[in-house]
Amino acid sequence: MTWLKSNNSKLMQDQISTVERRDDAVFLTLTRTSTLSITTAGVIVTWQEEIDSGGNMTWSGSSITLPMSGYYMISVVGSLASRDNFHGDLRINSVDVCSMGVGALRDVKFMHSVTRFFKAGDVVQYKATTTTGTHTLAVVTEDGAGESPILHMVLL
Is residue 144 one of the residues assigned to a domain?
A: yes
Q: What is the CATH number of the domain that holds 55?
A: 2.60.120.40
How many domains would you assign to the chain?
1
Q: Give the residues of the chain that fall short of pLDDT 50.
A: 1-3
Helix (H) or strand (E) holding 73: strand 70-79
pLDDT confidence of residue 136: 86
Residue 7 lies in a domain: no
**C-alpha span between 150 and 148 (Å, rounded):** 6
Instruction: Give the H/E segment covering residue 50.
Output: strand 49-54
Residue 41 domain-assigned (yes or no): yes
In a domain, 129, yes or no: yes
- What is the residue range of 55's domain? 24-155
Residue 110 lies in a domain: yes
The pLDDT, as a whole number, for residue 3 is: 47
Q: Is residue 8 part of a domain?
A: no
pLDDT for 65 equals 96
Give CA–CA dist 82/136, Å, rounded.
8
